[in-house]
Structure 1
């Protein structure tokens, strides 16, 4: 019976084993990272030299730094070499992965696909999406195979890319797309309902409103001498309010109609179009002694009815918001299109409409294009507050932009940028 080792002997043996383990770890690391090309090992017949060919060094260094798993297979499909990343992917120690058949990590449902890849990979580079086993979990991966000529002969290199994150992203994207389609469908239904409502508003609501206007006017014309002054004033307020309501109903209908896919664009001479609009304002222009100056305008591909509405709204506003003691002056001209929002390779034109009216504070420059927004009291200036919202929506549908510049008491300028040609869907 051997005598028991002392505590000091056990400590010494432990230290010696620790040193050997550290040396072995360093040696393995040096081999895997290509720091050594040969090993001298003490064997039963003396020292033996094992060479690690320099030709393999770059390959070994490269695969150890990869984020993908890298595996080298022989003709039987056995793993001759793999990097640490692949070992972590299959959740096994690196030492136990070596010499296993690669199909050990292939689920049964994917065996045929893997066998096809392995058989064809010796003659042609191939890649497939497949799952590999990590413990009892299947990990979606892409396998890319190619042949390599290493020191031991022809081998197959397999690059294993983990697709877990990519697949999760694809599922999320698919789910979001499905939700977006559902929302678009619901929005289309909602838009249809709104258009139906606007149609009802434009027809059914206008009929009782016309009767209110008609009987109010009759009452005023036939019995104005019999009514007290207060009653006459109340009656005039009824008439004014019903007129404003009728204007608002018509404007709401115009705004809602812009939701439809009215994308008929034709090459249009804006000079002729503006002249047509001015004919609608002949009486108001004469009443206000207004002057309208028009410089030559370009031809643009537009929806004629909608762009006519744009100029109608802007000219109407210029006449409406004029100064009480100064005749309106309206200038319409083409200017250089300076709009950083438009790409340089997109041919555009810019039309500027300037007036000398009451203007507005530029802090409200975005507010004026919102639905039902008014900067002036409705008791002095008529209108529904929809005109500029309609104008902006039309310009947006033409893939253009509209900007406003103004100062209180110094008039306003509206600049419209429009593509010369519209991109039609294929």
Structure 2
């Protein structure tokens, strides 16, 4: 048959089997005589090592109890023995470690280094560091100690592996702290550049002695202290960030503006998501548009870049930022310094001004439009003076003209207040008589009535026209904002060396959050959702007039119970 093997083939196979039998017989004899204590057997899943308990059993127990990993290698780099600590380091069962090549457990970038260590160790003891690779792809830094062992069966190599993970982490932490210290030193050097250059030049040129060096160091320390005091007393917030944008310094004003303590601030970056940065129009500000990000990217200083900040549990505020990069001696950006100031009031003033322009345009346009319409109708009736509509149109035109005059007068008065051009002509005046003169329009309107009480004989040295303007404005406000409160209460009282005049209505009252802003320029009260006419200048003008009299002005109000506006005037 074709598949039948030839005699020669069978003879060859028989000879091979005889050789294998002889090797097996020799191996068994060696095991019996104690000449060997381990076998490396090739299996389907790789080489496996089988060991026999021998005279070195006590030694191996000692090795097993070591805290370091221990490995015995043959001349080809295969692992004849390892302790459980090494198996733990490589995260591999002990039985799957023995018989494997040591290079299986060495990271790729350390293969050549390991080979060099082993080659040198055959002639001398070697120590060195490299990374071993665990089965979960975790790299473990270790210190190798390699030494040859002259055993009965020939040379082998003992390798002791000490885990350096904790030491490396400690070293990294130390390096990080050193880096922070170096960064702080660089910043100090940058801020004290002129002094540093002077110190270096003098040190190089004059080789100053120890006393001179001590003096210069003391001078530098004082200079740094002065710089620190300057930063801590600045009216602007100052923040310094590293190259990654993390805050490494914030002066007291920065802490005050941001409402954070030093320990809390230094845990943040300038674009910390816990604090929502916004554009001026209120839309979210992307991180790359933040002035500090722009400065770091362009390596150029920026000035007066305004953004708004929304803290998690507080009122939104606005800041103006100036930013400049910090560069090392190679021109590389190592961080940045930013100064900023709270411009919330400036921003609100701009907003109020914009609102005022809009309101003023509306307030002026309405009476002007009415006046224009009345004049057009009057023009058509000029040939028919007996028309019954003529008096009404004239009256309407006069009212519109008066309204325009009042608005213009408010604008002029506000300008005078701002420019300091308000001049007072003071004369002794009985306050009750002044009240009666300026409030006749209330009595003739037949919609409200005044109840006056208090010290009717009280006199004060005042500009009667200006104070009459204040009283008229406050009474008109009471009528306008409390239309259903028919009774307006006016009280004159003496409080020490001051006269106090109070105007009380029984209207809806003013929300408490609006009370602090009532006397601000352009502020208009709208407590019920209604829109009232006016430029928001009346109470501001009243406050300025009273202040020029060295008096005080304020308001007390409770929702649903009415409001009391009061002001004081010095008697002398």
Which structure would you say has the larger RCO, counting Cα contacts within 8 Å and 6 or more residues apart? 1
Considering only CA atoms, is the larger Rg found in Structure 1 or Structure 2? 2
TM over 0.5: no
TM-score w.r.t. structure 2 length? 0.31
